[in-house]
Amino acid sequence: MNRSFAVILGVVAASALFAGLVYAVLVAAHVSEPAATTVYGLTARRLWATSVAVLALVGVLIGGLALARPASRFGTASGRLGAILALVVGLIAAVNGGLNLVVANGGPGTGNGVVGGAAAFVLGLIAVAIGGLALARSRRTTLEPGRMT
């Protein structure tokens, strides 16, 4: 019971931290004020931001798997390959999320996809950080003498 509570508390804390980081990015980009009139439906920029945010989430998941399992059953290069893939995907997502915020001319509700762009930026940076940690761990394990991975 205590472990379940700790996991739930960790998820809630991580979600609150993520929401705070997304809001901080929106404030830094000067697009945190909501729109006077709300645009409903899918726009091209919302689609762009959503697809990049999903790409960033995939990068975080790949980086997490590479960090958790540096050498998987698919071969010894899987951890290193996953780390490099997380780095590249995270960088692409962070750049595209930042570009979406730069070209936006309004806040949430304008159809510019600013919330998705900010989420992609934050998740992309997280994917780069996790991928970098996994890459450093995979290099360290392959350089240690007498250890086979």
The pTM for the full model equals: 0.81
Residue 86 · residue 131 · CB < 8 Å: yes
The enclosing H or E element of 17 equals: helix 2-28
Q: How confident is the model at residue 2 (pLDDT cuts 50, 70, 90)?
A: confident
**Closest to 119 (Cα-Cα) out of 109, 111, 127:** 127
Once rounded to an integer, what is the mean pLDDT over residues 13-42? 83
For the cut 80, the answer to whether the pLDDT of residue 35 exceeds it is no
What is the percent of the chain with per-residue pLDDT over 70, rounded to a whole number?
87
Digit-coded pLDDT (tens) for 45-60: 899 999 999 999 999 9
What's the pLDDT tens digit per position in 61-111?
998 888 887 665 555 456 788 889 999 999 999 999 999 988 888 888 888
Task: Determine what percent of the chain falls in helix, strand and coil, rounding each to the nearest 5.
Answer: 70, 0, 25
Kindly report the average pLDDT of the chain as a whole number: 83
Reference 45, options 120, 111, 110, 124; nearest CA is 111
- Enumerate the domain spans of the chain: 2-143
The answer to whether 86 touches 66, Cβ cutoff 8 Å, is yes
**Residues forming a β-bridge with 75:** 72
Interatomic CA distance for residues 123 and 86, integer angstroms? 11
